[in-house]
Amino acid sequence: MCKALGVRLVTNAQIAQLAKNAGFDSLFIDLEHSTLSIDNASSLSCACLLIGLTPFVRVPHQCGNGYVQKVLDGGAMGVVFPHVDSAEGARAAVSISKYPPAGCRSMTGQLPVFSLKPAIATTIIEETNASASSVIVMIESQNAIRCIEDIAAVDGVDVLLVGSNDLAIALGVPADFQAPLFRRALEAVSAACNKHNKIMGLAGIYDQPDFHHWAKDTLGVRFLLCQQDSGLIAQGAARCAAAAAAL
């Protein structure tokens, strides 16, 4: 199980060390639902690389190939693409994330994933395509569920990540993660992942251990966005203030 901490508020790179100390495997750096910049994402990604965390960056929806290129060149080891509703969208995500012949990513030198050291093009292509350009597509709509088999079948897609809040809203059951309709949708994602040897991920459901046990043991979820920095700060602040008020 890859345990990811979402970062949408903290720009100080020391958040990577705190995440590592806490036992997380990855930072989920969120450029979709935040005001973080590409420069912030690069600083956080490089901090992760130095201490053995895996940096994934969620880009804004329909942000364009050039934006994704900057995120990858800045140190991300994988890109999270929100609102992927079709196999065509999944193939486009793979194309910009991979060097030829697997995709159309443009070549540059001295990348953070190579510690800024020069490397020959063939090495960059082989190693980056294999292990430093994960493609994580988010499943967040009814159409994505209808097309789930086709999306999961796309070569180069690594993870199908359920965006729980948007998916529940799209299904007409906002925030009702116990709804049979929502659970059946997750079961469809799980079946497609198993059939096509993809990793299933879950995001947006926090502090619900019973649900997470079901997701892990029954659905086979192997990538979990556990919480976000803003949520942890809010929870900790509320506990601290309540304790002081009770004195």
Catalytic residues: 33
Q: Is 156 left (phi over 0), alpha (psi -120 to 50) or beta?
A: left
Q: Give CA–CA dist 50/166, Å, rounded.
A: 34
Q: Is residue 56 within 8 Å of residue 126, measured between CB atoms?
A: no
Q: Is residue 136 within 8 Å of residue 158, measured between CB atoms?
A: yes
Work out whether strand 78-81 and strand 54-58 pair parallel, antiparallel, or are unpaired.
Answer: parallel
**HEC letters along 29-73:** EECCCCCCCHHHHHHHHHHHHHHCCEEEEECCCCCCHHHHHHHHH
Q: Is residue 162 within 8 Å of residue 186, measured between CB atoms?
A: yes
Say which residues have a Cβ less than 8 Å from residue 174's Cβ, sequence separation at least 6. 165, 168
CA distances for 106 relative to 80, 124, 142, angstroms: 19, 11, 33
Q: Give CA–CA dist 121/191, Å, rounded.
A: 38
**What is the number of other CB atoms lying within 10 angstroms of the CB of residue 195?**
12
